[in-house]
Structure 1
Amino acid sequence: MARAIGIDLGTTNSCAAVMDSQRPRVITYKGGGSTIPSVFAIDDSGNRLVGQEAKRQAQLNPANTVMASKRLIGRNFHSKTIDKVKQVFTYEMLEGENKEVLIKIKDQVFTLEQISAAILQRIRGVAEEALEAEVDQAVITVPAYFNDRQRQAVRNAGKLAELKVLRILNEPTAAALAYGLGKNLEQRIAVYDLGGGTFDISVIDIKDRIFEVIATGGDTFLGGVDFDDRLMRHVLESFLEEHGLDLSWDRVAIQRIRDAAEAAKIELSARTTTRIHIPYIAKGSSGPIDIDMEVTRSLLERLTGDLVARTIATCERIFGEAGTSANQIDEVLLVGGQSRMPLVQKRVTTFLGKPPSKGVHPDEAVGIGAAIMAHSLSSGSDVTLLDVLPMPIGINKMNGTMHVLFQKNQPLPDYKTRTLTTSKDNQRTIMLKIYQGESRLVAENELLGTFLFRGIRRAPKGKVKIEVTFHIDSEGILNLTARDKETGQSVESTLRIGQPQKPKKRAKPPKPTPKPAPKAAPTPFSMPTSSLMQEIGGAVAAPNLGTPAASHSGVVPDPAEAGSSEGLTERLDSPATLSRPDVLQPSPTAPTATPGAAQPESAEDADTALASTTTQAATDPGLFGRVMGWFKGLFGG
């Protein structure tokens, strides 16, 4: 009988859990481990490695080892976040056709969805071995502060891994499920989740089997790797000062120092002093030079105190949004490996006026909660989960500001209707750009995608009214439908980064012939035939995960015919709001548009070209305040 599992897809480590006899448990693998490093690599022989084996060889093969890919998934190549990452990570990043991030490893190029899919497939394989049953369904967790693009990218990765993704679940919510289910509680809790790459804080009300998120927020670029980097940079600066040698250009040295810094940081959670010893890190005029230095807890706290302060500042802001104070919080859960740091626990205790709860395991709570949700969705048990939107979603206005459609912390699911009108005579298409973020300026928010409504009937400007319905499902993923208010004719479009092709069969996938890596045309991602049922320590092969995710397609409007969201009527129709469900079920979503279905219908349309409705993730921010910004964004960005 096929099983459904919960997967905590982490930045540094991932794990899986399952419900057995109405009790959740973390799946342990051969050798006794319960986590898999979220690492993917290709070695000198061309073998694809996932997990511990990939991490083990990282020091000698840093350029071809991908770590912390979760920080990159669903992001725009030109974002400030990616600029920061490129200064730290040792592998090569390329810009894709739709401004997404691609990873070049040797002579092949991979999407972030493919990298994540390889990790998910590895988790699935070892889970099947441990359970002695097929695993075909999963709930996958993401940071609460992930935007729509990032959530959809994780869902696509699950599909590439041949998993039916029952739900994308927020990590703090999963931890709350692990803490509160079956305890007949009536509490307001705070979940402080400081993991390897991200930070989340959520305020959640628990009433027996009902879990209601009141407010959530966080930072998708603040986590344990940032603490590692601070200590690593201190070691580099100390070495430069002592020996006059700059190691920052040496990828192998950087990886060795990073690993040593991470190990020292972990030790300093239990001890006040440790040593970093790295033999033969460089060659000097008189021979090999080692790194051998004492590191104290107080030094680490001085180097990283501002990072901890950032988390507390976020907590204060989210508590304000929730309309709650620290003394109204019954329990605080610390989740994520970095939450073990004594300074973190001290600052949280000071902020809340009470010590954190010991009721959950920091490394296992998210996976356990995901398993509870997977069981609920696959068996129909009566767990009610009421979540919220982490960031506002809206469209651009003529002055470059964002017209907010859905406010932050809006209960999910929800939908709104708005009316668009044509701005030119005989206009045939209307384009709409959707943004997500907390800034008033669209240029500072994430462009989720571009929707194009075509085939509009010819009429004088202002005569055609297009009613657009924006629907956000329980996972925080947006879908759109549109209809002509006069004729009732429907046009549907769905916001997507791209859809994976149907996966190949898992048995004996073909091994591709390596090709030179183009700038933005990934080669098919397939791994050599090998059993997934291997120990974590062995080289692990994943099956063919299909070609890179294909984009939905629409039509780029002719500038003489097309309009944009600037023609949005200022009159706002009465927004319709969905009632929250009493029992958690997969929420209905709008029908999905068929990829590539839109084609020119006449000679007049023949000069329009196909364009992605999903992965046009960014345009020149300076263009957004201009009347023709949408046109220049397409053809000049």
Structure 2
Amino acid sequence: MNRALVVGCAGYEDPDIAPLRHAQTDAARVADTLRTVCGVDDADLVLLHDNMPASHRPTRTNLLRHLTRMAADPRPDGILYFFFSGHGFQAGDNTQYLLPIDCVRAAVEDTALRFDVIVRYLGAAAAPHLVLFLDACRNVLDGGKAASASLPRVDVDALCPPGVVSFCSCRPGRVSYEVDGIRAGVFTEALCSAFSPAGRCRTIHELDAYLSTQVPALARAHGKPDQRPHSRVEPLGVQHLELVSERTRNQWRATTPIGTERRARRVAPVVPPGAVDDPLLAIDFGTSYSVVSWYRPEGDVLLLPGPDGRPLVPSVLHFLPDMDYLVGAAAVEATPYRPSSTIRHAKRDLGRSAGYSVNGRSIEPVLAVGLILRSLRRNAEEALGTPVRRCLASHPANFTLRQIDTLEQAFELADLTVTRMIGEPNAASLLTLMATPEQEQDYLVVDLGGGTFDVALVEAGEGIAEVRAVTGSNEVGGLDFDDALVAYAEDQLRTVHGWHGELTSTVRDKLRREAERAKRDLGYRDATTMLLTDLDGGSHGLVDISIELDRARFRQLTAELNDTIRSTLGAVFPRLRFGEDVSAWISRGGKVLLAGQGTKIFTVSEQIASVLPGAEVVSSYQETAVAHGLGTQAGVLTGFQRGFLLLNALRFGVGVRVSGKEGSLHLVSPDAGSNKEVMTLLDSSRTIPTRDAESFRLTGKAGTTHEMTFVEIPRSSGLVFGTIPVVATGGDIVLTADVEANGVVYLTLRDEKTDSVSRYQLNKLGQDR
């Protein structure tokens, strides 16, 4: 949690100290910037300036009061910001002082505040990062005396202590300036501009570079002498520290200079005008196709159409030369003309260091997904005749927390509030209640989409679908089967047909479209042909090439993928907390529910039959199973569906690294290398919402910082969620894990000696470090 202390001293009480014009307004502007851009909550921001009430005027007593309060409430997370605008001076012993407004010129060393004392208090607040913005060298052009011509000006280098990120308004030996025309100091104006949509500085490095150019530019533009900022950034690794909040980053992404969506037609309305108020959408955003559903008050799920009248909307984005864009079927139709301007399968790149270059501009995956979701929202608004702001959403079972977070950011970019995020196979599990309205029945939900493969074991009956275990793989999806065919076709073009033309984006687009078609054909016939037309044959002109493909060859080309399908199907049973093998499950009458278009691939059906011989297969929904399940859950949450209940399961387990155990206490050593054991805080596949608590003892001396490291279980995943630094006080630590119905995990640490409490969100650990 970020915190800030912001101080502006303009109207000094002692007439022998010259007033400043805009220090108080600068402080107010910086406070507002930290609040709105950098994620500092009102409760964690202290603002002191001349126009504030008595308790928040920038006097020496008030400054010390708030500094000591911060030091007495250490929080080992986030960033602590300190901004000061006012006079400073250097004493004869080279000690640096900042002057509060009640400083007395004749007794300046006794009434000012030593800078090293300020830094000591700020350091005691225990934030991982301390960022100083200092403007203590302001020039006074008129209106009284300066602080004193006989007292040396504050040493800028000394205002940049080692190990701290510091930004000063000018270089050593120089002064900084105010500009009446903009009613601000040059440094503050540049600082606030850096955190605006114009500057978009996200990190320490970007801010440092921006200030170094903008401060002198602003001074020149307003007729002031040369002013150049001075900085010290330590340690060097902190240069990439994110200063702005996640919401701000999303807003900046949303305002990337991109045009508007072009549409050939509107979506036909599905309800009379004014019939719907504040609908709760259900959005199944897929790698290849997306489906939007809505639970009607009449008691059923309605799949909402796209502009072409079909509910399956291709998750495809195409940019025109002017950066206007097309989405869905229109984007697919435009792709053959400018394939390099088309973005497909952006879902697979969420949470990764990936980007797309389109018309000379870089498009992040999260922005591409946000534009597609915005179009889906518009489809729904046209179909329902009302604005849409709320939705349920789904994610692949094996998505990492980072990928889920990035997907949520994409929904924010589309101006959609996600009320709940549900695993895709978990959402499809609700359909088991439609197939089994009364008697209890076990199901294995098998969901193969374009980019991921998910499996969920479900117990259904009497209106309750309980997800008992979930697993999945991000390494196999329908796209990977297409890729295998594309690679085969390329090889055949070169080695069998002797084609030596260039594999341009247009040719690759043809290959992929033919691969998708051939994959579908083999679902209901033994052999098919991939036909590639109008290829550049050099001196032979345009040529057509056909490539034969049968089921045997397809099995050979996709053998590795099929192995992954088979192993993932079998892996879900060991995840059961009480254990059950496949044969026992089948003998009890377990059924398979298919979801996702990929389950139509014939080799996937073969793997299901191999792992689950004799199990009945239900294929009533397939490509719309997740959308129907999400829509049903939306009906439950809005109260229109009262007969169904989904008991979700936690997809991952959570462990804490410890050095051992002493009775009921888990031991954490200050030496991170000694914490080699992993204790289980939360089991995977536990029904949520849930809560659990464990006690820990920090084995180091009081005042020693210990790192509590949280990892995913099973340990083979190798995922480290992050660490929480905890300072030993001599008391034991009680760690409580709360898991909400949407799968978000909150961690609460309570020190039994001091009774201090800190709260963290598991998927946010490490983002401020």
TM-score band, normalised by shorter chain? 0.5 to 0.7
Identify the match of residue 40 of structure 1 among 312, 317, 335.
Answer: 317
Choose 1 or 2 for highest CA Rg. 2
Per the alignment, residue 181 of structure 2 pairs with none
Residue pair 1:194, 1:336 contacting (<8 A) in 2 also = yes
Q: Which residue of 2 aligns with 1:136?
A: 389
Q: Aligned residue for 2:741?
A: 474
Match of 1:391 in 2: 652
Structure-2 change in CA distance of 1:464 and 1:110 (3 Å): farther
The residue type equivalent to 1:232 in the other structure is V
Structure 1 pair 396/283, CA: closer, same or farther in 2 (3 Å)? farther
1:308 corresponds to which residue? 562
* Contact 1:479–1:495, Cα closer than 8 Å, also in 2: yes
Aligned pair 1:200/2:454, yes or no?
A: yes
- CA RMSD of superposed structures (Å): 2.8
Deviates more, 1:398-407 or 1:477-486: 398-407
The one-letter code of the counterpart of 1:51 is G
Paired residue for 1:54? Answer: 331
**Is the contact between residue 501 and residue 538 of structure 2 (CA under 8 Å) also seen in structure 1?**
no
Partners of 2:293 and 2:303 within 8 A in 1? yes
Residues 38, 346 of structure 1: alpha-carbon distance in 2 compared, 3 angstrom cutoff: same
- Asked whether 1:484 is paired with 2:751, we answer yes
The answer to which of 362-371 and 32-41 deviates more is 32-41
Amino acid at match of 2:558: T
Q: What is the distance in 2 between the residues matched to 1:430 and 1:283?
A: 68
Identify if the C-alpha distance between structure 1 residues 371 and 350 changes in structure 2 by more than 3 Å, giving closer, same or farther. same
1:332 CA displacement: 1.0
Tell me how far apart the structure 1 counterparts of residues 744 and 398 of structure 2 sit (CA, whole Å). 13
Provide Cα deviations, 1:162-193, integer angstroms capped at 9, x if missing partner.
22212111222222212424822311111111
Q: CA deviation at 1:10?
A: 0.9
Deviation at 1:66, TM superposition (A): 2.2
What are the equivalent positions in structure 2 for 1:231-630 lying under 5 Å apart?
231-242=485-496, 250-284=504-538, 286-322=540-576, 323-324=580-581, 325-354=585-614, 356-358=616-618, 360-379=620-639, 381=642, 383-396=644-657, 398=673, 402-419=678-695, 427=703, 430-436=706-712, 438-440=714-716, 445-452=718-725, 456=727, 463-496=730-763, 613-615=765-767
Structure 1 CA distance for aligned equivalents of residues 749 and 410 of structure 2: 28
Cα distance, 1:337 vs structure 2:
0.7
Cα shift at 1:269: 1.6
Cα distance, 1:419 vs structure 2: 4.5
CA 25–199 in structure 1, closer or farther in 2 if over 3 Å, else same: same
Cα separation, 1, equivalents of 2:358 and 2:723:
30
Structure 1 residue 249: Cα displacement: 6.0
In the alignment, residue 683 of structure 2 is paired with which amino acid?
Q
Say whether the 8 Å CA contact 1:8–1:367 is kept in structure 2.
Answer: yes
Change (3 A) 1:431 1:67: farther
Change over 3 Å in CA distance of 1:374–1:246 after alignment to 2: farther
| CA 208–400 in structure 1, closer or farther in 2 if over 3 Å, else same | same
Q: Aligned in 2, Cα 1:452/1:254: closer, same or farther, shift over 3 Å?
A: farther
d(CA) in 2 for partners of 1:426, 1:63: 60
- 1:150 corresponds to 2:403: yes
Displacement, 1:368? 0.7
Counterpart for residue 190 of structure 1: 444
Greater alpha carbon shift after TM alignment, 132-141 vs 402-411 = 402-411
1:450 shift after superposition? 4.5
With over 3 angstroms needed to count, the CA separation of the structure-2 counterparts of 1:256 and 1:395, relative to structure 1, is farther
User: Structure 1 252/485 Cα, relative in aligned 2: closer, same or farther at 3 Å?
Assistant: farther
Go from structure 1 to structure 2 and tell me whether the alpha carbon gap of 1:167 and 1:417 turns closer, same or farther (over 3 Å shift): same
Q: In 1, Cα distance between the equivalents of 2:551 and 2:314?
A: 25
Q: 1:203 to 1:238 in 2, by over 3 A?
A: same
How far apart are 1:353 and its partner, in Å? 3.0
1:2 to 278, 300, 309: 278
Hey, what does 2:115 align to over in structure 1? none
Give the aligned partner of residue 65 of structure 1. Answer: 342
Deviation at 1:276, TM superposition (A): 1.7
Higher helix content, 1 or 2: 2
Q: CA deviation at 1:108?
A: 3.7
* Structure 1 residues 26 and 491: CA distance shift in structure 2, 3 A: same
Asked whether the 8 Å contact 1:236–1:246 carries over to 2, the reply is no
Please tell me whether the aligned partners of residues 702 and 729 of structure 2 are also in contact (alpha carbons under 8 angstroms): no
Greater CA drift, 183-192 or 465-474: 465-474
Give the CA deviation at 1:161: 2.0
Corresponding residue of 1:518: none
Asked if the contact 2:691/2:739 (under 8 Å) is kept, the reply is yes
Residue 244 of structure 1: CA displacement?
A: 5.2
Note the C-alpha offset of 1:488: 1.2
Aligned residue type for 2:590:
D
In structure 1, the gaps of 5 or more residues are 78-92, 94-101, 498-612, 617-633
CA distance in 2 between counterparts of 1:247 and 1:360 reads: 44
The separation in 1 between residues aligned to 2:493 and 2:677, in whole angstroms, is 48
Say whether the 8 Å CA contact 1:260–1:276 is kept in structure 2. yes
How far apart, CA to CA, are the structure 2 residues paired with 1:62 and 1:31?
Answer: 21
Structure 2 regions of 5+ residues with no counterpart? Answer: 1-276, 659-672
Matched letter for residue 488 of structure 1? D
- How many residues are aligned here? 469
Q: Is the 8 A contact 1:179 1:365 kept in 2?
A: no
Greater shift, 383-392 or 369-378, is seen at 383-392
TM-score by length of 2: 0.56
Contact (CA 8 Å) 2:501, 2:537: kept in 1 or not? no
- Mapped to 2, the partners of 1:462 and 1:249 lie a distance apart of 65
Distance 1:32 1:49, change over 3 A: closer
Distance in 2 (CA, whole Å) between partners of 1:202 and 1:239 is 41
Question: CA offset at residue 37 of structure 1?
Answer: 1.0
Counterparts of 1:354 and 1:175 in 2: how far apart (Å)? 22
Q: Which has the higher contact order (CA 8 A, sep 6+)?
A: 1
2:423 aligns to what?
170
Question: Per-residue CA shift, 1:350-369, capped at 9, x if unaligned?
Answer: 43333643452111111011
* More off after superposition, 166-175 vs 196-205: 166-175
CA drift at 1:400: 5.8
Alignment partners' CA distance in 2, 1:425 and 1:173: 46
Name the residue aligned to 1:25: 302
CA positional deviation for 1:143: 1.7
Cα 1:285–1:114 change in 2 (3 A) is: same
Counterpart contact for 1:327–1:353, Cα < 8 Å: no
1:562 alignment partner in structure 2: none
- How far apart, in 2, do the equivalents of 1:400 and 1:57 lie? 55
* Contact 2:432 2:465 (C-alpha < 8 Å) held by counterparts: no
For the 8 Å contact 1:40–1:48, the answer to whether it is kept is yes
Deviation at residue 123 of structure 1 after TM alignment: 1.3
Structure 2 counterpart of 1:29, which letter?
Answer: G
- Code of the aligned partner of 1:345: S
Give the superposition deviation at 1:420: 5.3
What secondary structure does 2:742 align onto? coil
Residues 575 and 684 in structure 2, CA contact (< 8 A), matched pair in contact too: no
Distance 1:414 1:142 in 2: 20
**Equivalent position amino acid for 2:376 in 1:** I
C-alpha contact (below 8 Å) 1:4/1:138 kept by paired residues: yes
Percent identity reads 25
Counterpart for residue 212 of structure 1: 466
TM-score norm. by structure 1 comes to 0.67
| Partner Cα separation in structure 1 for residue 705 and residue 638 of structure 2 | 42
